[in-house]
Amino acid sequence: VDRGAVLAFEIGRVVGSLQAAGLDHADLKHSNLLITAEDRVALLDLDSLIPPRRPTWKRRVRALGQLEAFASDLYPELPRSDRARVLCGYFGREPSLRVRRRELVGEVRRWVQRRLERWRGRDRELHIYYPLAPRAPLAPTLIDLRALARSDAREDGARCG
């Protein structure tokens, strides 16, 4: 099983579990996800759960959109199928939303397009952490999904050749 796909599903499962419990993480982004050695996903920056906020439709769109926007910017080589697995994990924890799946996916896509346009308009010289900004090399993390995607692509190419 592809590790990136498993992690994508797990991220969706964790976000879905949080929202199914009636909570909304106000600062959901890649740097607030911790991947353990066992490929489990933990949420960081739990201060953003205080005060508790109910996961309204708009907040669900924002949460999923934020993850997709960062994935599009930071990990553009991740296959769309892995990104779709985030939704599979999410809907596994929020089955009542499956009937509105198309609507949710459409709104998330529009949210992501607006966010990426806004990020592109920023002055990237002012802050090194802005998405879409030219960056210095990233510090090592527990898992670097970009390296994982590149190594998987090399292995796939070796098998086809």
Mean pLDDT by 10 residues, the chain (161 residues): 86 93 89 89 88 90 91 80 88 92 93 87 61 46 48 46 37
What is the structure's pLDDT at 73? 77
What is the structure's pLDDT at 135? 44
Residue 41 β-bridge partners? 35
What is the structure's pLDDT at 120? 78
Stated pTM of the model: 0.72
d(CA 88, CA 90): 5
User: In sequence order, which ranges of 32-100 are alpha helices (DSSP H)?
Assistant: 57-74, 80-93
Which position has the token pair 């527990």? 142
What is the structure's pLDDT at 149? 52
Buried b (16+ CB within 10 A) or exposed e, 65-94: bbbbbbbbbbbeebeeebbebbbebbbebb
**CB–CB of 93/13 below 8 Å?**
yes
